[in-house]
Structure 1
Amino acid sequence: MIDGISDGYDDNTIRQQVRTLLKTNPHLFYTDKIVNYRGTTTDQGTPYSEVIADELINNFQILSTIENGVSIRKTKSFRL
């Protein structure tokens, strides 16, 4: 993968990656590279963003366990 552009994944692979990330640490889901994947699934032609969003909705019970007030911190400085 180069700069968030994946080499091609099928629907099931994307869904499995999302479920794994949600089970390990849902608080840091937003920091994973999967959030920036661009393109469509190799088997169904569905945009990755739609597959990820659908899996997040299907696993809302996990997301609802995230407490309010979790701060988001940058890990690298911004380059101008």
Structure 2
Amino acid sequence: MRSKIHPNYRTVVFHDTRIDRYFMIGSTVKTDQTVERDGKEYPYMAIDVSSASHPFYTGEQRTHDGEGRIAQFKRRYRSRK
């Protein structure tokens, strides 16, 4: 196996700023920030959305009940002769 070609894989603390929740996950993300958790210092990465706050995963996603653009076009211009 060749040396110095693989990224540095380590435990990183991700902070979902939308809901103020922290996740400790193994990652290769590059960051200069650090945070202390459980008495140890870990690399820190702030994120805007995660599976804990995304509407699709939380069940808060809204669906559009109206008809689509193509259906509107077909309804509007059907059999005009």
What's the TM-score, normalizing by structure 1?
0.20
Higher relative contact order (CA 8 A, sep 6+): 1
Larger Rg: 2
Q: Specify which structure has the higher proportion of helix.
A: 1
